[in-house]
Amino acid sequence: MTAHERLLNETTSLCRTCKQAIPARVVADARNEVWMHKRCEAHGPQSARLSTNAEWYERTRAIRPKSAPVTRETRPVDKGCPFDCGPCESHAQRIRMPVVTITSACDLDCPICYVHNKNDAPFHMSRDEFGRVLDSLVRESGGELDLINLTGGEPLLHPELLSLIEMAHARGIHRVSVCSNGVRLAKDEALVEKLAKLDARIALSFDTFDKHTDRAMQGAALVDLKHKVLSLLDRHGVDTTLIPVMSRGYNDHEIGQIIEMGLALSCVRHLEIHTITYTGQGGASFDRSARISMFEVLEAIEQTTKGLLRTSDFVPSPSAHSLCYQIAYLLTDDEGGAPLSFLRFMERDELYACLEDHLYLEPTARLEAALQDAIDRVWARGDDSESARALRMLDRLVRTLFPSEKPLDAKSSLRVGERAAKAVYVHSHMDEDTFDTERAYLCCDSNCYADGKTIPVCNYNVLYRDKEPRFVEAPRPWGPRSGGARSLPIVTDARRS
Amino acid sequence: MSKLLEGSRCLVTGGSRGLGRAISLAFARHGARVAFTYRRDTASADETARMLRDAGAPEPIVLQGTVTDSAHAKQAVDAVVSAWGAIDVLVNCAAVMQVLPISLLEEQDFDNVMAVNVKGVYLFSRAALRPMIRAKSGSILNIGNFSSERVIEAPVHYAASKSAVRGLTEALAREVGRYGIRVNLLAPGMLDTGLALGMPQHRMREYIDQCPMHRVGRADEIAELAAFLVSSESSFISGAKIAADGGL
C-alpha cells in the first residue's frame, strides 16, 4: 500500500496462479479507484482493480444484506473459505438462485466461456438425479421455490430437457429458467413451441449487435441467429431473460441498445447483465484489459440509455453481498412512452425491502403496500406532467392485474406483472483476481447437487468445476490448500446507495 | 338428501359462473326449476345450463343481459313467470369486484360498481316483487360479502356497495314482510371461486390465517346454505344477515 492509498478492508482472496487462499487488502487510491492488493509467497505480488469509484464502492459495501442464515445441515470449517463449500457453517446466506448444471455438452466454444465443458462422452444429468436435486431444494425452501436455473454446457442438448422442466413445474417452482446460446432454438421452432407450452423461461446469451465483437466474444457470428431466436421466442410467448456479458472496450458501449431492445420485446422479462469473469475454458485466457467493474457497467448504462436508467435507479439485492447484484425495475408504458424506473415513483428503501427474501420481485403483501404507497404519493403530489404520466402507467398496471370482469389466476397475474415491470440486473461475478471471501460468504447463487450439497457459483467456477470428471477430460487435482478465516464484519452503516 | 325446493321457480342473477353457478346447481339438486342471467360469458352460461340438466333440472331458462338494465330485469322475471306461472325465489348474485386504491378510484369506477352491485339488486327485486306480491309469497336472497362489516382491507366502492345491499335487504324485508315475502342477506367469506380468485395470493393467506377455521369457504357449502335460506325450512327468517365465513 502506498502513501496515497487508504485501506478500506482486509479480506481473503486467491492467487491467480496456484489458487491458494491469500490475505488481501482492499484500498482506495488517489484516483478514487479501488484496488485489491495481495501477495502469494510462491507467485509474488498481484493487484486487481475492483472499482473506478471508491465512494460508490464504500457506500455500497456498507449496506448490510438481510440476514438469512442457511437452514439446513452445513459442513464444518476445515480448510477455510473457500475450500469447505457444501455450504460450510460460515456461509451466511440462503440460496435464492439455485443453479443446476444438467449437461457438460455445448455446441459453441466461446472465448468468454467461464465454465469447463466436455463434449466427448458428455454428462447428462439423469431424471433421477435431477429429481433428488429438486427435492432437496424444495425441502430447503420450505415448499415454495421462486426459481430454478438449468445450465450447462448448453442445456438444450440434454436429451430429456423437456421432461426435466416438467419435473420442476410439478414441484411447484414458480419460474423454471433454461440458459441457452440459442443455436438449437434457431433451428427448431417446434422446440420453441414446446418450451412455451411447458412455461419454461429461456435465459438467452446476447452480447452484441456487432459481428466482429460477436466473433471475439462468442467465437462465431451469431447476431442474426440471436435475432431470429428472439423473434421465435416473442412469437410463441416464451418468457425470456437476456444475458449480456459486459467487457470493457468490446460491448460496453452497446449496453443501452441491448436494454432498449429487451424493454421493447414483449417476451423479455428481465435483463441480467454479467461482468466478464476470467474463469473457465475460454474466459481464463480472454483479454484481461476487458475487465469491467460493477460501477463502470452502471455508468455505461447511464450514458447509453439517455436518461432512461441512472446509476441512482439501482439498489443492491438484500439477498446477496451488495457488491454482487445491482437491480433496477422499470414500469413499461403500453402507450408507447419510455419505461419509467421504479425509483422515480417509489422510495429506495421500499424497493429494497420488497426484494428481501426473493431475487426477483414477487407479488407479496409488501410489494402491494409499496405500490399502493407509491400510487397514493404520486396522486397526492399533484398534476405535474411527470406525476400524471406515472399515475396513468400505475393505473393501467393495477387495472390489468385486477380486472373487474374475470379474475386472473396467480400464474397469469405473475406474468402480467412481469410484462409490465421489467428488471435490469447487473451481476458481478468474481474470478481469482477479484475473489473476496466476504462476498463469497453472502452468495445466494449456488450450484446444486443431488446429495443436497451446494457451492456458491463463483467458488464453483473458480475452484470446483475443473475438479469434476463429468465436466473436464482431465480433472485438476486439489493441491494443498488453506483458506481464510471469516473476514472482518461488514460495516453496519446501512445506506441504500 | 331431502329436497328443499321441489317445484320452486327460481331466478339467479349472475348464475353462469362461480358462486352463482354453484347456487343454481344446488337449487336444481333440491328439485327447483332454475332460470339464471349472465352478462357476456356465453360459453360458461352454456356449460352451466348443461350442468343444470345433468343435475336433473327441467329445461333451464338462460337470460343474457346486464343487471343494471331495468328492461332486462323485467324481461327476465316475465320469462320465468310466463314459463312457469310464478316466481318463488330470486337470488341477487351478480356482482363485480374491482381492486383499486382510493387514489385510482375514478367516479366511473365507483358508479359502475354501485350500479351492478346495488342498483342491479334494486331493479331485479322490484321486478320480482310484482308477481311475488300478487302471489303473497316469495323469497329474495341477496348475496353480500364479509367486507361490508369485518375488519379487512377491501376496495372502498366494493365495501360500500355491499354495505348498501345490507341496508337495502333490511329495509325491504320490513316493507314486504306483510305480503309473506322474506328478504335475507347471505354474506360469505372468501371462497375458492368467483371474485376471490382475483385477490393476490398473500391476501388469501392472510384470510386463512385470520379465519378461526383456517380455510376459505367452498362455493358448494354456501350454495347449500342459500338453498336452505330460500326454502320453507327457514320460513320465519327475514331481514337477517347470515354470515358464512368460517367465524371471521
Asked if residue A203 lies in contact with residue A243, where contact means CB atoms within 8 angstroms, the answer is yes
How is residue B71 written as a grid cell?
A: 328492461
User: Across chain A, what does the average pLDDT equal?
Assistant: 92
Indicate whether A113 and A20 sit together in one domain.
Answer: no
The shortest C-alpha distance from A223 to chain B (Å) reads 40
- What is the rounded end-to-end Cα distance, in angstroms, of chain A? 27
Instruction: Examine the pLDDT at A399 and tell me if it is beyond 90.
Output: no
pLDDT in the model for residue A105? 96
pLDDT of residue B148: 64
Interface contact B202, partner A, CB < 8 A: yes
Nearest CA of chain B to the CA of A145: how many Å? Answer: 15
Which of A427, A453, A488 is where one domain is finished? A427
CATH number at residue A321: 3.20.20.70
Residue B122 annotated as catalytic: no
Residue A147 lies in domain = 97-352+421-427
Domain annotation covers residue A48: yes
Domains held by chain A: number: 2
Q: How many angstroms separate the Cα of B161 from the Cα of each of A249, B111, B155?
A: 62, 10, 10
Under the banding of pLDDT at 50, 70 and 90, the label for residue A493 is very low
ipTM of the complex: 0.75
Residue whose C-alpha cell reads 387514489 in the numeric block? B103
Q: Does position B210 have pLDDT exceeding 60, yes or no?
A: yes
Decide if B213 touches A, using CB distance below 8 A: no
Reply yes or no on whether the pLDDT at B127 is more than 60. Answer: yes
What local confidence, expressed as pLDDT, does residue A494 receive? Answer: 43
Inside any domain, residue A401: no
Segment A204-223 mean pLDDT: 96
B chain contacts of residue A407, beta-carbon cutoff 8 Å: 194-199
Cell of A485: 478465516
The answer to whether A365 contacts B199, with C-beta atoms less than 8 Å apart, is: no
Residue with the bigger pLDDT between B207 and A304: it is: A304
Q: Which of B99, B104, B195, B201 is most worth mutating to test chain A (most A CB atoms within 10 A of its CB)? A: B104
Is the Cβ of B78 closer than 8 Å to some Cβ of chain A?
Answer: no
User: Rounded distance, CA A141 to CA A136, Å?
Assistant: 9
Per-residue pLDDT tens digits for A55-104 = 999 999 999 888 888 887 888 888 888 999 989 888 989 899 999 999 99
Q: Is the pLDDT of residue A489 over 50?
A: no
Same domain, A50 and A105: no
Q: What's the average model confidence in pLDDT over B124-135? A: 97
Note which residues in 234-253 of chain A have CB less than 8 A from chain B: none
Share of chain A above pLDDT 70, in %: 97
> Do A228 and A321 belong together in one domain?
yes
Domain boundary among A427, A447, A481: A427
Hey, are the CB atoms on A376 and B103 less than 8 Å from each other? yes
Give Cα separations from A11 to A22, A121, B46 (angstroms).
9, 40, 70
The verdict on residue A381 lying in a domain is no
Q: How close A191 gets to chain B, by Cα (Å)?
A: 32
- Asked if the structure places residue A73 within a domain, the reply is no
Distance CA B233, CA B237 (A): 9
Residues A220 and A322 in one domain: yes
Q: For residues A150 and A240, state if they share a domain.
A: yes
> How much of chain B, in percent, has pLDDT values that exceed 70?
96
Amino acid B98: pLDDT: 86
Q: What is the pLDDT of residue B82?
A: 97
Over residues A426-466, the pLDDT tens digits come to: 999 999 999 999 999 999 999 999 999 999 999 999 999 99
**Has residue A17 been placed in a domain?**
yes
A82 upstream amide cis, omega within 30 of 0: yes
- Judge whether A92 lies within some domain: no
- CA dist., res. B161 & res. B94, Å (int): 12
β-bridge mates for residue A426, sequence order: A273, A326
- CATH class (in words) of the domain with range B9-242: alpha beta
Q: Tell me: the pLDDT tens digits for A468-479?
A: 999 998 999 988
The active-site residue, picked from B122, B158, B179, B207, is B158
Q: Are A303 and A225 contained in the same domain?
A: yes
* Domain boundary, last residue among A405, A427, A449: A427
Mean pLDDT on A269-275: 96
pLDDT at B93 over 50: yes
Is A162 near chain B, with CB under 8 Å? no
Q: pLDDT class for A315, splitting at 50, 70, 90? A: very high
A-chain CB neighbours of B206 within 8 Å are 365
CA distance B39 to chain A (A): 10
**A348 and A240 part of one domain:** yes
